[in-house]
Amino acid sequence: GVGLALGRRSKLPAIKYGCTLFIELVRGSPFVAVLFMMQLMIPLINPAFTQIPGTIRALVAVIIFSAAYLAENVRGGLQALPPGQTEAARALGLSAWQVTLLITLPQALRAVIPALVGQFIALFKDTSLVAIVGLTDLTGFVGVMTVQAEFIGTRAEGLFFITLIYFVFSYVMAYVSRLLEASGSGKTRRL
């Protein structure tokens, strides 16, 4: 995602327009469409992809989808930085890569922490969509678990438990985000 964001800001037209096309194409598609494309369409276009397990293809779909959104978040952070910092770093003799890696990128990532964490929480919850293409997720595990003779609870209890798992993981990610924000801003905040 960071590479796509930097590529979209590139001065080389092929890189800039290639990254822009990829980002806009993926962001304009729903996650389910990207998931179906990786699971069903790509193996039809190139039969060699049928050798790749469905779990790996689903993971690639998640990576492609999240990279496009991450790129836009990072690009927004890069655009929010005042140009004077870049100019000052260039005046000190830093190369373009040094300016990017040492000056602009760390500040941009710090500025977009809330957006990134929100994206990661949404991505974590979207992983349940892999059930649509026949893979097992937490909800699928509840279905498998409830038909076992050893299981003494109800399906509702299992669903409540996975709801609790989603909530706890999402809350922890949001809490860590607030800690990172507070430590990066230099202010003391009530969490």
Tell me: the pLDDT tens digits for 135-165? 777 777 777 777 776 767 777 777 888 889 8
What is the set of domains in the chain, with CATH numbers?
1-183 (1.10.3720.10)
Q: Out of 56-65, 119-128, 145-154, give the one with best mean pLDDT.
A: 56-65
Q: Does the structure show a pLDDT above 50 at 171?
A: yes
Band of residue 128 on the pLDDT scale cut at 50, 70, 90: confident
Band of residue 184 on the pLDDT scale cut at 50, 70, 90: low
Q: Which position has the token pair 């209890």?
A: 157
Question: For residues 54 and 39, is the Cβ–Cβ distance under 8 A?
Answer: yes
Q: Per mean pLDDT, which range of 10-19, 59-68, 149-158 is the poorest?
A: 149-158
Task: Count Cα neighbours of 38 within 13 Å in the Cβ-side half-sphere.
Answer: 25
120, burial (CB in 10 Å: exposed 0-12, middle 13-18, buried 19+): middle
Instruction: Name the token pair of 76.
Output: 């927004």
Alpha carbon of 9 to those of 60, 94, 97: distances in Å? 24, 18, 13
pTM of the prediction?
0.70
